[in-house]
Amino acid sequence: MLAAAPPDRHRPWPGATRTRHGTGCLRGDPMTLTGNTQVLTATPAAAVAPAPTRRSAAERLVFLDALRGFALIFMVLNHTGRWWMDGSMRWSRYYFIYVTMAVAAPIFLFLVGFCLPLSLSRTRGASVEQLLPTLWKYTKRGGRIILAGLLLNVLVFPEDPFWSNGVLQTIGLGIIVAAPVGLFLGSTRARALVVAAAVLIYLSFAWAFAPLTAWVGAHPVGSRILFLEFPPWPWIALVLFGLVPGELFVEQSDRRGRSRYMLVLAAAGVLCMAWLYAYDWWAQTAKPFTFMRDYILNNHWTPRGATALWVIGITFCLMAVFYYLAEVWRLRMTWLVTLGQTALFLYFIHHLIVLTLVTEHLHLKFNSWWRYGLANLLLMFLLLGLGRGWIEVKRIYRERVPPLAVVFRRA
């Protein structure tokens, strides 16, 4: 069974001068499950959902923070599945890593686009003089996220070139690109154009996949900048696509309208997910829910065809579920909200704990599911405590050191 696992396709960076305990570069190789896909664990400031104009300023969209917290948990499980277990766990580990990555990363990227209209709704009808500062604000915000991604490369992956692309860089660029687009979604035609552009970006990647594979092999430096972890082409398409559902959500003027909208979103999600299963039945897919069915470029994953629809479907369904739990049934999910509100901070910290401390320095492995589950439970409690502490630190600085408050903006 284990012999059927796909071969090692990881190409180490030729300029690296050292490796981590003989394992080579730990960035994600989805074909061998030995690396880091660096799933989007960061929630940039632009992805936080300020209340739109039709909502009370005191009424917070708790479900978005809770959904981010859920995605953060899946992201952490994806990374611990890669770094805290090895090939002796066989195919159960393989499927676990595939599913956690397919759920976590798209949620974060989609939420970047979904939340922008909630914030930009305040600027509707504003003059050009008022819009320019808004665009500059999002440009700076996206730039800070890009710089954060480069800093993460230096701190966590020092053996790699610091300019290597990561998911934070894609998020930052997505904010810069999507913010001006989000200002012009008032008409049905504009929304259709944005969806069409997002689809075209994805399809162009699919059409160019074969020549891109050859280009990556011939340009090791350029490929690390443009096509490493969740590269802008095609992943910015998901950010742009998220703008339209976000705009439609903002247009719902009351709680009943928003609830109906979420039911429609859930129904669309179920159809998207069903399409994958129907396609696999029709095509007799030999290895469903494996990386071998998708695009692997530069040893990193992008969903192919029916898998991409499943990814959108599960995102829609989870968004509807969390909306009803938090906004309709008023279920308290304080711990998930805490994780979601501090996702960027915990993104950095969990890498240092999971990879640098436990894997590299303590050399620990948890090659049984019950030990792995217990270790992750303890890790989640630790991250929750760190998240609450970070919120308190930011509060103290905002109250006592106002000039430094800008340093502790939404993480």
The model's pLDDT over 336-362, given as tens digits with 9 standing for 90+, comes to 999 999 998 998 899 999 999 999 999
Exposure letters 166-197 (e unless 16+ CB within 10 A, then b): bbbbbbbbbbbbbbebbbebeeeebbeebbee
Quickly state the pLDDT bin for 265 (edges 50, 70, 90): very high
- Location of structure tokens 């990386």: 291
User: Does the predicted TM-score (pTM) go above 0.85?
Assistant: no
> What span, in angstroms and rounded, lies between the C-alpha atoms of 310 and 308?
5
pLDDT at 207 over 90: yes
The share of the chain scoring above pLDDT 70, in percent, equals 81
**Quick one: pLDDT at residue 402?**
62
User: What is the identity of the amino acid at 48?
Assistant: V
Query: Where does the pLDDT of residue 54 fall: very low under 50, low under 70, confident under 90, or very high at 90 and above?
Result: very low
Please report the pLDDT score of residue 127 as a whole number: 60
Q: Is the pLDDT of residue 228 over 80?
A: yes
What is the model's pLDDT at position 99?
A: 92
Q: What is the pLDDT of residue 186?
A: 84
- Identify the weakest region by mean pLDDT among 14-23, 53-62, 167-176: 14-23
Distance from the first to the final alpha carbon of the chain: 43
Rg (C-alpha) for the chain, rounded Å, is 21
Residue of 158 and 107 predicted with greater confidence: 107
Contact 131, 122 (CB under 8 A): no
Say whether the peptide bond before residue 7 is cis (omega within 30 degrees of 0).
no
- Mean pLDDT throughout 105-121? 91
Distance CA 306, CA 72 (A): 25
Q: What angle do CA 29, 32, 37 make, to 5 degrees?
A: 30
Query: How many other CB atoms are found less than 10 A from the CB of residue 344?
Result: 22
**What confidence tier does 273 reach under pLDDT thresholds 50, 70, 90?**
very high
Q: Residue 403: which pLDDT band, with cuts at 50, 70 and 90?
A: low
Whether pLDDT at 281 is above 80: yes
DSSP per-residue string spanning 150-197: HHHHHHH-TTS-TT---HHHHHHHHHHHHHHHHTT--SHHHHHHHHHH
332 has pLDDT over 50? yes
- Bigger pLDDT: 228 vs 214: 214
Instruction: Compute the distance between CA of residue 164 and CA of residue 146 in angstroms, rounded to an integer.
Output: 11
- pLDDT digits over 75-90, tens only? 999 999 999 998 888 8
What is the C-alpha separation between 243 and 165, in angstroms, rounded?
A: 23
Domain residue spans of the chain: 2-408
- The mean pLDDT value for 79-104 works out to 91
Q: How far apart are CA 95 and CA 290, in angstroms?
A: 7
Instruction: Kindly report the average pLDDT of the chain as a whole number.
Output: 82
- Count of all residues that appear for the chain in the document: 411
Residue in the structure block whose two tokens are 């604000």: 137
Choose between 2 and 185: higher pLDDT: 185
User: What pLDDT digit, counting tens, does each position of 367-381 carry?
Assistant: 999 999 999 999 999
**Which among 191-200, 223-232, 327-336 has the top mean pLDDT?**
191-200
C-alpha distances (whole Å) from 259 to each of 198, 321, 329 are 26, 11, 11
Q: What is the mean pLDDT of residues 297-311?
A: 91
pLDDT reported for residue 75: 93
* Cα 397 from Cα 394, distance rounded (Å): 5
Q: What is the mean pLDDT of residues 32-60?
A: 40
At residue 128, the pLDDT reads: 62
3 state DSSP class of 27: strand
Residue 12: per-residue pLDDT: 42
Written as six digits, the tokens of 8 are 């090692």
Cα gap 92→372, rounded to integer Å = 13
